[in-house]
Structure 1
Amino acid sequence: MLARVIETIYWLARYLERAENSARLINVNSHLLLDLPKGISPGWEPLIDITGTREQYLSLYNDFSEAHVLTYLVTDIKSPASLRFALNAARENARTTRDVIPQEAWEQLNTLYFYASDYISYAQHKTKRFSYLNTIITYCQTINGLLADTMNRDAGYLFLQIGRYIERADMSSRIIDVRTKNLLTQNNHLEFHPFVNIQWMSVLKSMTAYQMYRREVQVNITQEQVLTFLLKSKVFPRSIYYCIAEVARNTHPLPKSEAVLSLINQALTSLLSTQASDLRQQSLHMYLDQIQVFLTQIGDELDNTYFLSGQCRQSTMQQTSGDIKDLY
């Protein structure tokens, strides 16, 4: 299979996953602001930190108002953190691989793109925002279901899965990091105690994990149990451990995968050996930074080993055609 094709499929999966997670995050934040008193409400600023684009945001806006943040995260096509940017990139990647992915998946993605564009003003309306974002989430899940049920289990599907789970692990680590930053600080203040459970629930709901947490853990919501579940669960498909393990499972059949698998095993070993009870505010932040470094290194190694862009940087492919990489 062509290196440019598997790279395109990989990024299709990443952008589609990013769009779904962004829509979920905005919806959860909207509801959290309604549940918390104004004095301790986190506002919209944490969403910018989750995307890791604070400097770029501040070059465009001088505050973190709801209107500005939603413009940056939803409607601005030039913002790399926006929902519109992710959907546009996903559609473009799908368009160039229409002979590889199912026609029905392409049609659904095309419909999603035009729906998101035509009704994008709904994101700024409190009464229409939830329905708008929930429709986008449903479309993303439908597309993922079509891809899962109808794609050949070849190299293309392996890289679709790898891209999805790397993106999901990265977003999960960012959500946990930023969502718990202020929350951990507030736990020592008596006036915040009535709202601690609400905030930990928001951490779970940001990852669509609340019901599965209650089913698996079956105890009251506590910091240690929530972190253990979101970091180390082997059965919840949005936990960081599960996502990285899925990357390993889909990388294992590939040739020349030793370097990638070595990095993945380091990340899994780190997750299993870390106790949530030992993670306080600063140590949790440093630990999640380490996980993000692992994910970046895994992505870079995939790029260098399998993708056209990475191979061109190394040796201009050492081929006259410049784009052929036989994976099977």
Structure 2
Amino acid sequence: MLSRVAHNIYWMTRQIERAEDTARLINVNANLLLDLPRNTTFGWLPLIFIVGAEKLFFEKDLNRLADETNVVKFLISDSGHPSSIISSLAAARENLRTTRDTVPQEAWEQINSLYIYARDHVPSRRGRFEFLRRVIRGSQQIGGLLAGAMSRTAAYDFVRLGHYLERADMTTRILDVRSANLLSRAGQTQTQTQIQTQTQTQTQTQTAATENGEQDPFESIQWMSVLKSLSAYQAYRQQVRVRVSGPDVLKFLLQDEYFPRAVVFCLRQLEICLKKLPRNDASLEALSALRQKLNAAAVPELAHEGLHEFIDEVQMGFGELHNQIAAAYFAH
């Protein structure tokens, strides 16, 4: 197949997965803030770091307030943010528009209608939940149409490559920011100072609990938020069967071989796809290095120290894997 077609299909599914995951994050964060006490200042800024857009968010104004209104608008409808929900859907639609004959007609119609709906129904606060629910459901319908009606040719392998690489990347981003308290550790720049201010009350509470030898009273709520961000709470309770705790959640989301949003599961699906494609040596080598790193990780220890550095290495591995896929299949 043409490299242009492979490139467009790969990025189309990455962008749809990105739109769905962003919608999930916004919904879960809103529910988390309702669960936490009023004097716990968790805030909306962590979402900007999860999607890796902190520089873009503060580009025009370093003192820009990272409140609910600004962050939600940035993540849903900001045309200057290429990973906002509407920008992602627009890019997915454009990538597929010139390669429509490679996917079922119903999938193209669903992508087109989902984009038009999102573009024409930018929500107020009151209508936000229904809007995000429609985006999530629409994205899942697209995945279902592709899985249920697309021939298992090389084109379908590129569909899955984009889908699972984006999903694995988002899982590690959520773990990095949500569970490692990365934001409260940063403090050198003006932007990071704002983060520290927003999380000050939470950090003081955690420090006091640690000094007294007690568990942070809000820890379980936050780990549950991590699971719910990935629709993993029910599967975790069914398979792990213990209370929600940091080491167990990390092990489940990084190393579980059966949960579809766990990183190791995603890497296994990527391996299956790559083995069907030609010129796969460099890509499989990069993938093998990632799998070895994840399988060898001492996850319980990472829950207390070193998680941010470990996930940095994993995300660099994702970048290398993407580069090898692009070099092998998109540069010709």
Query: For residues 174 and 290 of structure 1, do their structure 2 counterparts lie closer, same or farther at Cα, with a shift above 3 Å needed?
Result: same
- How far residue 217 of structure 1 moved from its aligned partner, in angstroms, is 0.3
Runs of 4 or more, structure 1, over 6 Å off, are 183-186
| Residues 246 and 303, structure 2, Cα contact 8 Å, conserved in 1 | no
CA RMSD, Structure 1 to Structure 2 (Å): 1.6
Q: How big is each residue's C-alpha offset from its partner over 1:206-257, in whole Å with a ceiling of 9 and x where there is no partner?
A: 1110000000101111111100000000000001111111111110111110
- Matches of 2:307 and 2:154, distance apart in 1: 36
Comparing 55-64 and 216-225, the one that deviates more: 55-64
Instruction: Report the Cα offset of residue 81 of structure 1.
Output: 2.5
Identity %: 43
Q: Give the alignment of 1:282-321 within 5 angstroms.
A: 282-307=305-330, 311=331, 317=332
Asked whether 1:217 is paired with 2:240, we answer yes
Q: Secondary structure at the match of 2:13?
A: helix
Query: Residues 155-194 of structure 1 correspond to what in structure 2 (within 5 A)?
Result: 155-182=154-181, 187-190=206-209, 193-194=216-217
User: Which secondary structure state, in structure 1, belongs to the residue aligned with residue 306 of structure 2?
Assistant: helix
Task: Look up the match of 2:70.
Answer: 68
CA distance in 1: counterparts of 2:60 and 2:108, whole angstroms: 34
Secondary structure at the aligned position of 1:220 is classed as coil
Q: Calculate the TM-score normalised by the size of structure 1.
A: 0.90
Instruction: Output aligned runs, 1:29-40, within 5 Å.
Output: 29-40=29-40
Kindly provide the CA deviation profile for residues 55-81 of structure 1, in whole angstroms up to 9, marking residues without a partner as x.
111013412011111111111122123
Pairwise CA distance, 1:114: 1.0
Q: Where do residues 195-274 of structure 1 align in structure 2 (5 Å cutoff)?
A: 195-274=218-297
The aligned counterpart of 2:195 is none
Specify the alignment match of 1:89 in structure 2.
Answer: 91
Contact 1:72 1:81 in 2 (8 A): no
1:38 positional shift: 2.9
Alpha-carbon distance change, 189 to 207 in structure 1, aligned in 2, over 3 angstroms: farther
Match of 1:324 in 2: none
Distance in 2 between residues matched to 1:43 and 1:261, nearest whole Å:
40
Given the two structures, how large is their TM-score scaled by the length of structure 2? 0.89
What residue is the counterpart of 2:54 in the other structure?
54
For 1:306 and 1:2, how far apart are their aligned partners in 2? 9
SS of the aligned residue for 1:238 comes to coil
Structure (1 or 2) with the greater helix fraction: 1
Counterpart-to-counterpart distance in 1, 2:149 and 2:266: 22
Query: In the aligned structure 2, how far is the partner of 1:174 from the partner of 1:160?
Result: 22
- Which piece of structure 1 moves more, 93-102 or 32-41? 32-41
Retained in 1: the 8 A contact 2:46–2:177?
yes
In 1: Cα distance, 2:229 partner to 2:305 partner: 21
Deviation at 1:193, TM superposition (A): 2.4
Name the structure 2 match of 1:78. 80
Gaps of 5+ in 2: 185-202
- Deviation of 1:170 (Å): 0.5
